[in-house]
Homo-oligomer: A and B are copies of this chain.
Amino acid sequence: MTLIDAGSSASSPPTDRGRLKLVVAYDGTDFHGFAVQREVRTVGGVLTDALVAATGLPPEALHLVCAGRTDAGVHARGQVVTVDVPDGDDEALRRALNGMTAPEVVVRDVARVPADFDARHSARWRRYRYTIVNSAEPDPFLARYAWWVPLPLDLSLLRLGADPFVGEHDFAAFCRRAGSATTVRRVLDSCWHPPDGEVLRYEIRAKAFCWQMVRAIVGTLVDVGTGRRRPGDMLAVLRSGDRAQAPRLAPAHGLCLWDVGYDAPSR
C-alpha cells in the first residue's frame, strides 16, 4: 500500500523534482561498499533499485551522493545521502524504500533540503566509530560488527596513543593513496569510550578522512594497546609520512560511519 502511495508521486515530471536528504543505516557485511558499481552489490545500488521501483524514475536519472563512501564490509548508522526525487509524500517514500531494503538497509529519516545542499560537500564533519572485542574467545553475536583482539589491551596506552591524532596533520602514513590528492586532514576528536565489559569503542571525528585512514589508525593503536609500539611514537609516524611505518590495517567489519554534521539551517 505504501508502495502504491509512493508510486503515485512518480507520475510527477522530473521538473517537479526536489532534493531529498536521507539518513541511512546499514549492515555492510554483504555489500561491496556504498558507491554504485556494475556487477557487484553495493548499498548505493540497492538504494537506487528501490528508488527506481518506488518513483518510477529510470536508474540513470537517480544520482545518489553520499557523505562517506564506505568501503566493502564497513557499516553505517548515520550515512547521509542526497538524491533528487519528485515532490510527494516523503514519509510514504521512506516506508516504501524500507519495505524493499530493511532490515539490511534502513532509511531512518527523510527531509527536503535546498537544491544547493549536497550530502558530500555540505558536510562539516564525519564521525566514525570502531568497535573491538578484547576477550580470550570471540563472541558469536559481535563477530559481524567488532574486531576480535585476543591479546589484552591497555586502555591507558590506547588513550595516550589516540591523543596525537587530534589537529591538522598530513595523514600520508595512515592512508592508502588515491592519486595525488592532499592527505592533510583536520581531526576534531580522537578518543576511546569507557569500556563496556570486553567491548572497546574508538571514535574519531574529522572534517574529512583519507582512504582507509580510520582502519590504519586503529590498527596502529592496537599495537600500542598491546605494548608492541609506544604511544609516544605516533607523532613521529605521522611526521614520517611513510605508509610503511603504520602498515597494520584494522579489519573493515569493526568500522561504522556513525554520523555526519551539517550547518544548522541545512539539518
Contact = CB atoms under 8 A, between A and B. Distances in A.
Contacts of A26: 140
A104 B25 contact: no
Contacts of A143: 27, 103-104
A212 interface: no
Contacts of A137: 98, 102, 106-108
A145 interface: yes
Contacts of A144: 144
Interface in A1-28: 25-27
How many identical subunits does the complex contain?
Answer: 2
Interface string A70-109: 0000010100000000000000000000100011111110
A262 to B, nearest CB: 21
Interface string A132-152: 000001111101110010000
A interface secondary structure, majority: loop
Interface string A44-77: 0000000000000000000000000000000101
B140 A105 contact: yes
A145 B141 CA distance: 8
Given A108-B137, A140-B26, A140-B27, A103 B148 contact: yes
A25 B139 contact: yes
A102 B27 CA distance: 20
Contacts of A140: 25-27, 75, 102-106
A103 B135 CA distance: 12
Interface of A: 25-27, 75, 77, 98, 102-108, 137-141, 143-145, 148
Nearest 3 pairs of A and B residues by beta carbon: A103-B143, A103-B138, A27-B140
